[in-house]
Chain A
């Protein structure tokens, strides 16, 4: 297992991660405790609302609201740069233009063949 190489974009198993064995320090421990404190606070808020016997409405999740809002409103933070312009051209303009040219030349070729009488038009719809 020493030569285990994880797939690109996948994670390494925790038992093979050297940081779990070597880079343990007081700061890391304190950071983990701060994160646990944040998590516990959120848990307390949620459970208070959940177990409230006089609650009639749904429990609103502000993190979900923020996520939906962020995904639905990227335009205020959009700025035309080299990268965004390139992406826009590659995904918006290039397919349109190439498909137009492909279809136009193909149909023009077929039309020329029909006019010259060389096209095989044996398809019969009725019989």
Chain B
């Protein structure tokens, strides 16, 4: 983005004509790149706006569900299911195989969290209850045993009675 800005500066300044400088100062943009209506906008209120937003994001009108309008800054960005990229088919020919994503596919708001190096929402091999029981059972058992070990210590230092008496003096 900064590279594009500097290039424009250089081009308009080297042109040396009034038209170049005044074009830069008036804030007119070039016609290349994403146009204003293909970028995210405000929350859609009418069904026509919803249909236009669904078309913009390449979603079906029935599938398009914007985030609720609670002022948190989402605008009309679609609310996609919270699924990590771990869950996508590893054998399909994705356009971007490491991201498991096709070109043009709408990206989740938290896409950078759901990549394959990070959060994984795929199903666990063992059920939740079983995992909880195993983890907390083990931790609880170890805590209990260490407590018992504090109360009934197994290893007592072996010291002769004479050394014990002299130790007491130098406590």
Q: Answer yes or no: A120 CB below 8 A from chain B CBs.
A: no
Bound Cα distance from A11 to B124, whole angstroms: 8
Q: Residue among B73, B102, B106, B121 with the most chain A CB within 10 A?
A: B73
B72 touches A74 (CB 8 A): yes
Residues of B within 8 A of A39 (CB): 102, 105
Assess whether B8 is interfacial by the CB under 8 Å rule: no
Tell yes or no: A78 within 8 A of B by CB: yes
Q: Please state if A38 and B60 are interface contacts (CB–CB under 8 Å).
A: yes
Contact between chains at B60 and A34 (CB < 8 Å): yes
Residues on the B chain within 8 Å of A115, using CB: none
Q: Across the interface, do A83 and B70 meet the contact criterion of CB distance under 8 Å?
A: yes
Q: Identify the interface centre among A11, A31, A39, A63: most chain B CB within 10 Å of its CB.
A: A63
| Complex contact B104–A42 (CB within 8 A) | yes
| A63-B124 in contact (CB<8A) | no
Chain A residues at the B interface, C-beta cutoff of 8 Å: 3-13, 31, 34-35, 38-39, 42-43, 45-46, 59-67, 69-71, 73-81, 83-84
A–B Cβ pairs within 8 angstroms, 9 of them: A9-B121, A10-B121, A38-B59, A66-B56, A66-B77, A66-B107, A74-B73, A79-B71, A80-B71
